[in-house]
Amino acid sequence: MNAFEENLIRKLGAENFKKVQKARVGIAGAGGLGSNCAACLVRTGFRNFTIADFDRVDATNLDRQFYFADQIGMEKTEALKVNLLRINPALELKMVQVKLEPANISETFRDCDIVAECLDRADAKSMLVAELLSAGKFTVSVSGLGGIGASDEIKTQRAKKNLILIGDLRSDIEKAPALSPRVSVAAAKQADAILAFVTGKLS
């Protein structure tokens, strides 16, 4: 137990903190959603993660993703590991350098209690969610976060018993680019939904 965790016990309560520490969270994609969602979860006491991505940090990522200029060229999984451990060195991180496809999704997140869908393309999102739901995983997905302003339109909805959907459900990042404020709102809402689920406070 470190001072960081002792502080969270005071805020969450001992029982909720135990639940948070025990849960294993999968994060599918380590871009704008995934990197920021992971940071929020670490800051609320989660310590067990499986994080999967195949990409490397690029200069174009720095406007909205939890990376830094000196990490350009690094695998995102490795760079994110470094950054998350700077928040809490006691994390247990399983970083998987892989492009997620139907054949490997179930195995990649086999040990996870919850998975955050943090991919970019609509078809990839649909594919991932379909595979996760068929495997019985509680999933938190995002649809619609592009543009500027109107961040109150980014809502949290329970689409199914084991599926939470976050976003405005209409904006397309191909037409309304993904920028840091709305990306961060959506990522934080993902983390908040996961925290609520784990602590039994999800409506």
DSSP output for the chain: --HHHHHHHHHH-HHHHHHHHH-EEEEE--SHHHHHHHHHHHHTT--EEEEEE--B--GGGTTTSS--GGGTTSBHHHHHHHHHHHH-TT-EEEEEE----HHHHHHHTTT-SEEEE--SSHHHHHHHHHHHHHTT-EEEEE----SSS-GGG-EEEEEETTEEEEE-S---TTTS---HHHHHHHHHHHHHHHHHHHTT---
Residue 203 lies in a domain: no
Residue 96 sits in which domain range?
Answer: 3-198
pLDDT at 152: 86
Q: What is the CATH number of the domain that holds 19?
A: 3.40.50.720
pLDDT at 190: 97
pLDDT at 169: 79
Q: Residue 200 corresponds to which tokens in the numbers above?
A: 């039994």
Task: Report the alpha-carbon distance of residue 70 to residue 140 in Å, rounded.
Answer: 31
Do the bridges between strand 163-167 and strand 138-142 make them parallel or antiparallel, or are there none, so unpaired?
A: parallel
Per-residue pLDDT of the chain (203 residues; tens, 9 = 90+): 788 989 999 999 999 999 999 999 999 999 999 999 999 999 999 999 999 999 999 999 999 999 999 999 999 999 999 999 999 999 999 999 999 999 999 999 999 999 999 998 888 999 999 999 999 999 999 997 777 888 888 999 999 999 999 998 786 666 778 888 999 999 999 999 999 999 998 87
pLDDT at 101: 95
pLDDT at 177: 86
pLDDT at 175: 72
Residue 159 lies in a domain: yes
Residue 141 lies in a domain: yes
Structural domain tally of the chain? 1
